[in-house]
A and B are shown apart, each in its own frame.
Chain A
Amino acid sequence: MADDLSAPKTTMPKTRMQVSEARPVRFRGGGFRPARRRWLGPLVFVVLIALAEWGTRSGWIGNLTLPRPSDVASTLWEMALSGRLWLHLAPSLTRLFVGATLGVSAGIAVGLLIGLFTYARAALVPLVAALFPIPKIALLPLFVIWFGIDEMSKYALIAFGTFTPTVVATYGAVDNVDRTLIRMGQSFGLSWHSIVRKIVLPGAMPGILSGLRISLAIAVILLVAAEMLGAEYGIGAFILEAGSLYDLERLFAGVTILSLLGVTISFALGLVEAKLLNWRS
Chain B
Amino acid sequence: MFKNYFKIAIRNLLKYKVYSLINILGLAIGFGCTILILSFIQNELSVDAYHQNRNQIVQAYLKGTRDGNTNYQSTVSPYIGPMLKTEYPEVLDVVRVYGLQEVAFQVQDKQILESNGIATDPNVFDLFTYRFITGDPRVALSEPHSMVISRSMAEKYFGSTDAIGKMIRVEDRYDFYVAGVIEDVPVNSYTTFDYLIPLNFLRELGLDIEGRPYFPCSYLTYARIRENTSLAQLNAKVSERMLSEGEEITFDIELKPFSEIYFFETGGKTRLAVMSLIALMILALACINFINLSTARHMVRAREVGIRKVAGATRRLITIQFMGESLLISLIAAGIGLLMARGFLPVFNQMMSRPTYIDFTNPLFLTGLFALVLITGILAGLYPAVFLSRLRPVAVMRRENQRKGKATLRKVLIVFQFVLSIAFILCTLIIDRQTTFLQNFNLGVNKQNVLYVPMEGEIRDHYRGVRTELLRLSNIVRVSTGSRLPTAILSGSYFEWGVRDNVGRRICTTFTDYDYLKTFDIQLAAGRYYSPDFPDDARNSIVVNEAAVRKVGLESPVGKPFPFDGQDYTLIGIVKDFHHNQMLSQPPEPVAFRLSPDANDFMFIKIDPGIADAAAISATVQDIEAICRQFSPKRPLRYEFYNDFSFDRERLQEVIRLMFTISTALAIFISCLGLFGLTSFMNQQKTKEVGIRKVLGASVRSILIVLTKDIAKWILLANVAAWPLAWFAMHKWLENFAYRVSLTIWPFLLSALIALIIALLTVSWLAIRAATANPVESLRYE
**A is bound by B:** no
